[in-house]
Amino acid sequence: MTRSSKQERAYQKRRQESWDKRSREKAARRRRTTMVVATIVGLAVVAAVIALLLINRPEDEPDVQPTDTPTTAPAEEAAPLPTTDPELYDAAPDPAEAEGRTWQVTVQTSAGDIGMEIDGENAPQAAANFLRLARDGFYDGTACHRLLPDSLLQCGDPTATGTGGPGYSFGPVENAPEDDLYPAGTLAMARQSGNAESMGSQFFMVFADVPLPSDNAGGYSVFGRVTEGLDILQQVGSAGTVEGTEQPALPVTIEGVTID
């Protein structure tokens, strides 16, 4: 064999080896590229799935984390007020029973004693009405069922509903203030709106100056004033009402009435 032939074969061998090496390197690069692309695609798929789940999550889905106990309890239901079943009457008393004079009265209540002066001169019908009911024990055991916390306490209904009475009604309005202002200490008869003949046993005690506008029936019959215990009424007012009602939060029940 000639020298040139050996050299030729050696050259061809080196060339083949070089080509094989480049082929292996290309194949390795293709495999790496394929793996990278596959990883990216896989991550993209996962991200797309997560995004889809988040987008379609219901907005009102409940939180599975525990919640704190509420800091405020629901309002308690108002306790039933005491009621009585007194003897009822056929008609209001004669205004002459007020004797045209003033009367000193003490109303004993569960919150304390309240002194009153009943005006039989300027409101004889309302005064005679209150005095008869008080003497007969009509008010004993009745609850003061209605409170306006900034001004007045209403009492005298044996049913404690605001609709009870002595079996009759009377009118007209007596001794109402011309300026519609009822000063602290005023003692007046309650009545239905627009009905001057609807007075019965219910009355109210004013513990802070309050304007009460007249309606087409007039104002409210003022038949006396509170002489002692105004501070008791103010304490009842400060305590407020049972939530959602006009019932005093500090219960007031009339235990008896003494007429001097």
The CATH number that applies at residue 229 is: 2.40.100.10
User: Quick one: 171 and 61 in the same domain?
Assistant: no
Judge whether 87 lies within some domain: no
User: Quick one: 99 and 63 in the same domain?
Assistant: no
Report yes or no: 168 and 151 within 8 Å, Cβ to Cβ: no
User: Quick one: 58 and 111 in the same domain?
Assistant: no
User: Quick one: 54 and 165 in the same domain?
Assistant: no
User: Quick one: 121 and 7 in the same domain?
Assistant: no
The total number of structural domains in the chain stands at 2
How much of the chain, in percent, has pLDDT values that exceed 90? Answer: 68
> If you average pLDDT over each of 17-31, 78-92, 119-133, which comes out highest?
119-133
d(CA 196, CA 206): 20
Amino acid letter, 76: E
User: Quick one: 141 and 236 in the same domain?
Assistant: yes
d(CA 207, CA 235): 10
Judge whether 124 lies within some domain: yes
Amino acid letter, 204: F
Task: Band the pLDDT of 62: cuts 50, 70, 90.
Answer: very low
User: Quick one: 101 and 195 in the same domain?
Assistant: yes
Judge whether 75 lies within some domain: no
CA distances from residue 208 to 23, 134, 180, 186, 231 in whole angstroms, order as listed: 106, 25, 14, 9, 10
User: Quick one: 56 and 122 in the same domain?
Assistant: no
Judge whether 77 lies within some domain: no
Q: What is the pLDDT of residues 119-169, one digit of tens each?
A: 999 999 999 999 999 999 999 999 999 999 999 999 999 999 999 999 999
Report yes or no: 83 and 158 within 8 Å, Cβ to Cβ: yes
Judge whether 74 lies within some domain: no
What is the arithmetic mean of pLDDT over 72-88?
A: 74
User: Quick one: 55 and 104 in the same domain?
Assistant: no
| Per-residue confidence (pLDDT) for residue 64, from 0 to 100 | 28
The two structure tokens encoding residue 217: 């029936």
| Structural domain that includes position 39 | 1-67
User: Quick one: 53 and 152 in the same domain?
Assistant: no
The residue with greater pLDDT, 74 or 42, is 42
Task: Band the pLDDT of 56: cuts 50, 70, 90.
Answer: very low
Of 67, 82, 108, the last residue of a domain is: 67
